[in-house]
Each structure stands twice: as structure tokens, then as C-alpha cells.
Amino acid sequence: MSRKPEPEPKPGPAPAAEDTDEPPARGDRPDASGSDGRKRPAWARTEEAEEDDPERTTRFAAFQPPTTRAPAAPKPAAPRPSGPAPTASRPLAPAPGAPRPTTPGPTTPGPAAPRPAAPASPNATRPAAPRPAPRPQPAAPAPAAYQPPPLDLPAVRLPHTEARRRPLLRSARLWAPAGVLLLAGGLVGAQLLRPLPAPRLVAAETTRTVDGQFSVPWPAMGQGAVRVAGSGEVGSFGEQKPVPTASVAKVMTAYVILKGHPLRKNEPGPSLTVDAKAVAEGKSEDESRIEGLTAGQKFSQLDMLKMLMIPSGNNAARLLARWDTGTDSEAAFVEKMNAAARDLGMKDTTYTDPSGLDAGTVSTAADQLKLAEAVMKDEVFRSIVAMPSAPIKGLPQPLVNNNTLLTAQGLSVRGIKTGSSTPAGGALMWAAYKSVGDETPLILGTLMEQRVEGSDPNATKSLALVLSNSKKIIEAVRSALASAPLVRKGDVVGYVDDGLGGRTPLVAAKDLNAIAVPGQQFKLTLSPGASPLRREAKAGTQVGTLTAGEGDGAKSVPVAVRTALEEPSLGTRLTRLR
């Protein structure tokens, strides 16, 4: 027989709480029901009340980022009761459909919750049990402030941001190639607009030597040099150190006078008045001089130059120096001599007087050849130094040249000046000619420091020695001098450099023959023509000149491009770095 369930006792009125002056303990929580007996909504219930609510099926929780909760401060342990602890048993899970049993809330210090009253007997009423006084509990520490953990969620792209980025990305994809094209176009344009370097001619070689060999019969001592005007140096010997020049210095005196007071052929020029100093110097027995002069006597510039160069009058040299500067001293004129030497490139030459009698006037054979080539361009000078003798109106005797080679047979000597003194020994600057075909080149030479052994008053014997040795040299050079092929037509002599790495060969348009001795070395110079060098030209177009030798009488031939001269290609212009 089934047992009927006993009816649950109805709760009676709660016993009245005892009045006390003590405030409720901190841990006391209000009941889930209000003062009117109604249950509070779930959102207004406390955590303890929610645990005791049998009707609770859901729990509201704030959405918080999943993270580690900060550790709470430990609560002080409640005092244990003196009696034995009650034995707690784990409640069984309710059966499906059964009402959820009430779960006691967390144990908190303070007064116990009121118990439900026992069912009242119909015959008697039981008095309410008195409520025990709450025990004082130590104040719990304030809970730590809650810090919400950061969200650990994937990045979210907002739709409006993505929408703004899409046009920008599409624009970048469209404009990037265009920017590259614009940059490339700018670079190409800049390269094409850059001015091209000017083309220039470059010689393939700077010197060329004539075939064969030749040896000049130099003397055993001293120094000397020989050259052919326009062709260059034939040879030299000895140490080219500055030595006294003696009367060879008078060549520079004549050169300076004719530069300052040039004369035309057979023109006498201005008059010079003989002063007392020139008369006194004409009576000196230790130097060459012009005798028979009187103070106040007048001579033309041409006659005075003859007195200077033919008999080598020292007093005539000093008189010309004073006349040129308008002073009573030759010092200013000497400065002009040294300035002229520098202009001619005579680096090892120093002049201290206009006559050469002073031993401080020094030079080298090579330097004197530079002067000889320059002064022999003057027609008046050439006519004077070629004279073996010359009568002068106003002098008791004609002037006699002590350069005996002027009258030697088969030498064609036409000057220039002898010199002799004890410090210098014998010296000679000479000029000779030789006809080669339809040309007559000028041969120039200088021989210095020629001395004889033994006594030689005033270096008379040394003068004879230098004349003899010079004759041997002149004969040998004239015999060996001939026309020799130096460059053949079609020989590559250089190229046109366009400045960008392109080179077009240049060839000689004609044969180039030079008057030279065997083994003589020529200096080659390549120079552009009269018109500017073009960038484009047909093959065979003449664009410049090749010159062999130096100075007047140097030989030259035109040069032409062997192949067509063309503008630099587009690729070359785009890739050039200069």
C-alpha cells in the first residue's frame, strides 16, 4: 500500500528579532525577499540569495574578457566552535522534475539565519525561542579592486575602414606603373638632352724615327749640339752645363736690338753718337774692340751692328746697350737680354754683360741653338753675319770677320758668331745650308769649351781649334742630310675620339718626307683643321693636319677619316656616364 506524502508544514510568522544596539555584522546579507515578502528580480539579488533561490535557472554574468583574475586577498578564518564540528554530507542530485532543494549559502561569520518555526499544535501555542546575540567578528580586509583582463580576440576590420582602403589600393596599383614609366621617361629625356662632348683628335704616336743610323764626329771634350731648322735636333754631346760664352753673347745683344729697333733689308736705321766711353774702350789691348772712333762721331744702327758682329767689337756692344736704354749703364740692357732668354726657353743661360767678356755670362750649347734658330729668321741679321768683311764709312779700315769658315769651299756656311777668351776657350755658333731637291734647309750648330793644351794668350789657339772641329761636324752633317720618308699615305696616325668611347681611325692623306739624317727622331703633332671638327663625315674627309718637326720649316700633311664618322648611337647616348 502506497504511503501518502505528508503535507509540508506551512511556515508561520518569523520570530521577532531581538532589539540590539549593535549594527549587523559586515557579512550579514539581506534576504532575497523584500520586506513585503516578494522575491526580488534576479538582477537585484545578491550572490548568496541566488544560491538559495530554488527557482533560479539562469545566472546573468557580465561579458568580460577571458583572462586570469587577480588573486583576492585572503579572508580571515572564522573562529571554530568549541563543540565537535557537525558532520556534513554531500546532497544528492534531485530527481528529474523534482523541485530543486534549497542550497545553503556560503558560510559567513555573524548571526545565524532564523530557522523556520515548528508547526503549531491546534491546542497550544509555543513561545518563540530567543535569538542568540551575534558574536563580534574581526573586520574583514577590503577586497582588492577588480581589474578586468584584456580581451584576447582576433583583430576586427571595420567595414567602413576597409571600404576606404580599397580605392586607395586600386589607385596605387594603377599609378605605380605610370610612375615608373614617368621616371624612366625622365631619365631617358635627361640623357638625350645632355650635351655631347666635343670630338677631338688623338695622335697614335708622338715621335717617329727615320730609318738608318748616323754618328756626328764630336770632339773629345767640351759640349755641342746640332739641329736642322724645322726638323729638330740631329744630336748633341757633352754635359749641357752652363759655361762662359765669350763673344757668342753678342748674338743676344743683336737679337734684343733688332727686336726693339727692327730694320728692313738695306735700311740703315737711326743714327748713334759715339761717346767718350766708347772711344776710351777702343784703346784697350786686352779685348776685341773698334779702334779709331772719335767722340761725337755718328754711325747708323746698321753700321754699328756690323761693328758688333763682324769684328766682335766689345765697345760697340756697350754703346748699343746704352743707346737702347738711354742711360749711361748697361745694366738695364742686360735685364732685357735675360728676359729674352727666358722667352726663348733658355733655362741654363745667364747674361751679365752685353759683350760676353765677363766670365759670369754663361750658357749651354743647346740653349744657344734656340737663340740661333730665332735670330736667323731676321733678314738683316742674316745678311750681316754672312759677311766675311765690310767697309764702314768713317772708319780707317774695313771690318774683318774672324770666322774663316765663311769662305771655306763646300760648306755653305753663312754665319753666325765666334767667341774666345781664357775662361771660355774657343766657341762657335754656326749656320750652314744644303740644297736637297728643291729645298735648302738651314743647319745650325754650337760648339763650346774647345781648349788647347799649353799656353794660349787670349785663347787664340782655342778659337782655331773650335773652327777646325766645327768644320768636321758641318761636313759630316751636310753629307748625311737627305730627304727621307717619314709617313706613308694611308698610315694610321691617330683617331677621332667622340668622347663616348667611339674612335674613328685617321690616316695620312699624302706621303710625308722630311729632310733629315739617318736615325734622326721627329716630333709628331696632330692638330684639327681650320674648320671645327664635325661629328659626321664621309670616309676620306680631311679633318686635320699631321706635323713632323718644330718651328719654321716643319713638314705637314693632311689627315682624313678612314671610315665614315657617325653620331653616337642611341644606346651609347642613353648608357653614357660622362
pLDDT at 14: 47
Nearest CA among 568, 559, 560 for reference residue 539: 560
Q: Give phi and psi for 341, each to the nearest 5.
A: -65, -40
Q: Which residue is catalytic, options 236, 250, 306, 462?
A: 250
Please name the amino acid found at residue 384: I
Residue 105 pLDDT level (bands cut at 50, 70, 90): very low
Binding residue ranges: 417
CA distance 282 to 280: 5
Peptide bond into 474 cis (omega under 30): no
Query: Mean pLDDT lowest for which of 19-28, 419-428, 525-534?
Result: 19-28
| Grid cell digits, residue 370 | 734656340
CA distance 64 to 146: 12
Burial (0-12, 13-18, 19+ Cβ within 10 Å), 52: middle
pLDDT at 468: 97
pLDDT at 568: 75
DSSP string, 299-332: EEHHHHHHHHHSS--HHHHHHHHHHHHTSS-SHH
CA distance 381 to 96: 151
Binding residue ranges for substrate: 417
Residue 91 contacts by C-beta under 8 Å, 6 or more apart in sequence?
101, 103
Q: How far is CA 117 from CA 38, 123, 219, 255, in A?
A: 20, 16, 162, 157
pLDDT at 187: 73
Query: Mean pLDDT lowest for which of 424-433, 528-537, 551-560?
Result: 528-537
CA distance 399 to 307: 7
- Residue 347 annotated to the active site: no
Q: Are 546 and 514 in contact (CB under 8 A)?
A: no
Q: Are 200 and 526 in contact (CB under 8 A)?
A: no
- Residue 455 annotated to the active site: no
Please name the amino acid found at residue 452: V
309, β-bridge pairs: none
- Residue 523 annotated to the active site: no
Q: Which residue is catalytic, options 247, 300, 420, 421?
A: 247
pLDDT at 164: 62
pLDDT in tens, 467-503: 999 999 999 999 999 999 999 999 999 999 888 878 8
pLDDT in tens, 493-524: 999 988 887 889 999 999 999 999 999 999 99
pLDDT at 567: 77
| Grid cell digits, residue 253 | 745683344
Average pLDDT, the chain: 80
Query: How large is the average pLDDT for residues 361-385?
Result: 97
Q: Are 187 and 478 in contact (CB under 8 A)?
A: no
Task: Give the SS3 label for residue 23.
Answer: coil
pLDDT in tens, 435-466: 999 999 999 999 999 999 989 988 999 999 99
CA distance 112 to 29: 11
Q: Are 561 and 546 in contact (CB under 8 A)?
A: no
| Grid cell digits, residue 5 | 506524502
Q: Which residue is catalytic, options 312, 355, 420, 462?
A: 312
Q: Compute, in degrees rounded to 10, the torsion defined by CA atoms 147, 153, 155, 161.
A: -70
Q: Edge to edge, what strands does the sheet with 413-421 contain?
A: 232-237, 223-228, 442-450, 425-433, 413-421
How many CB atoms are located within 10 Å of the residue 201 CB? 20
CA distance 494 to 208: 13
Please work out, in degrees rounded to the nearest 5, the angle formed at the alpha carbon of residue 577 by the alpha carbons of 576 and 578: 100
Task: Give the SS3 label for residue 42.
Answer: helix
CA distance 109 to 188: 92
Q: Are 40 and 49 in contact (CB under 8 A)?
A: yes
State the distance between the two ends of the chain, measured CA to CA, in whole angstroms. Answer: 122
Task: Give the SS3 label for residue 50.
Answer: helix
Residue for cell digits 564540528? 85
DSSP code for 133: P
